Structure 1
Amino acid sequence: MTDTDSPTPSGRPDDEQRRIVRERYADIATDSDGCCGDESADGGGCCDDAAGASGADATARQLGYADDEVDAVAGDANLGLGCGNPQAIADLDAGETVLDLGSGAGFDCFLAADAVGSAGRVIGVDMTPEMVEKARENARANDAETVEFRLGEIEHLPVADATVDAVISNCVVNLSPDKPQVFREAYRALRPGGRLAVSDVVQTAEFPPEVTRDPDSLAACVAGAATVDALETMLADAGFEAVDISPKDDSDSFIREWADDYDPSEYLVSATIEARKPD
């Protein structure tokens, strides 16, 4: 059995899990209103179920983005996706290079570009071609000359060793079938002293079998979540130090909206995940 054939915790081979996720987010990218505007896109799961751009803006504010951040990005980069605001913990400085794992339509990348300024650089990586195309269109709409988007898997980053100051991500690592490899790759890409600043969901209770087996729950940022203890071990094994995972107890207000037939907040909580590569 090859690595790509090996089963994930969901019981699916890696390639099948990636296909499920890729297809969902391709649908979101090609829907002009994003996942918040198309009931056929299965609603919920890293996004609100309100309609259109105003719903996506409201979701971003609910996730912790300030009004000026929501208003700063032109086009349809804000799709109402995510489970937090990695900008709030990334502490970005002018001139830094930032890598966004699972960059989607580019919302967090454009905010990061504002933070690092004209001397900085932002790289977004996403495995969905339709999302990369959409993000590049949004880069033109935002005149974001210091931002680039690359097609690739976050387990195999198209980024050179030790070239990045900060790695950010918003509710994407949980979608990976090989999370330890994601953290190893982030570590590889970071310069000595570089940092990881991630918003994601963590598992707080064991999922029932019907959730684990449900492909919609997997692609909707639910069934792939790991526990805090498991994530701490993964990060330490990858070489990170100063690991800090802080659950956000108020996240149940939006997580419970991610499914219609059960309450995901019984099993999940949003969290900030921070770590540093040693100098």
Structure 2
Amino acid sequence: MDINELKEQGFLINQNVSLDRFTYTKTGGPAEFLAFPKNITQIEQLLQIARKENLPITIIGNASNLIIREGGIQGLVLILTEMKEIEVTGNKITAQAGAKIIDTSEMAYEHSLSGLEFAAGIPGSVGGAVFMNAGAYGGEVKDVLKSVTAITRQGELKTYHNQDLQFSYRHSLLQDNDEIVLSATFELKPDETTKIRAMMDDFNERRASKQPLEYPSCGSVFKRPEGHFTGPLIIEAGLQGKIIGGAQVSTKHAGFIVNINHATATDYLDLIELIQQTIWEKNQIRLVPEVRIIGEKAK
């Protein structure tokens, strides 16, 4: 079986598709092959084909904290947003990797379960949130995650418990072992829906007032350096509002880079490099990207 045979079986596989329509920055080059698996069986079949045809595999969720270079991605790109089921059993919620973490938070609210309020406005997928230990307003995935089902590139299914995943600030074991998140189970606590809603609304109001949600962006660009806050460092360096091409350091929140005028991925990356270089020269502080940067450079 090969890619064409899978297409004949109804798989959503396309060739040379520009990925800019799927990323929150509205930038990115083409995928050599692009597939939207709907279940674990389809992922297993795609992994088997990729091994047979020696195709590298790249996994993308909601592409909210991601920059894809203009040269695109060789091999097979799997976008998991078709895998979005969310189930509630008692005080536990199990969500497939492509489900939005916002929708998972809303499901928790609907079932009077507390613990995912911090995720009410995070635009990423459940898989991405687990992969990077996403967090906001004092909460992180590691605080509520019970277990994860993953699959290796060789097709072996694995289950990890919270303590197995070596969580730290914006990091998990899954960034190191190259495995693919299939689903995650969160263990929450019963609480009053009015209290849960009030907390979610408060976080979302704070997010809307401080973050440039009116523009395409990749979210928070840099990890917070120990003992400092990124936004103030960028402001003090005189870089807030700085524009390269169509990308701008947000005038609303200096920790964000926004697409104000048909920016390219290269515009984003040049601006990131300028910020890093300037902050190092002024403060001897190395800013490490939180955003994931993938793909080939433009030829």
User: Into which bin does the TM-score normalised by the smaller protein fall?
Assistant: under 0.3
Normalising by structure 2, what TM-score? 0.25
Structure (1/2) with the larger helix percentage: 1
Larger radius of gyration: 2
TM-score (norm 1): 0.26
Bigger fraction of residues in strand? 2
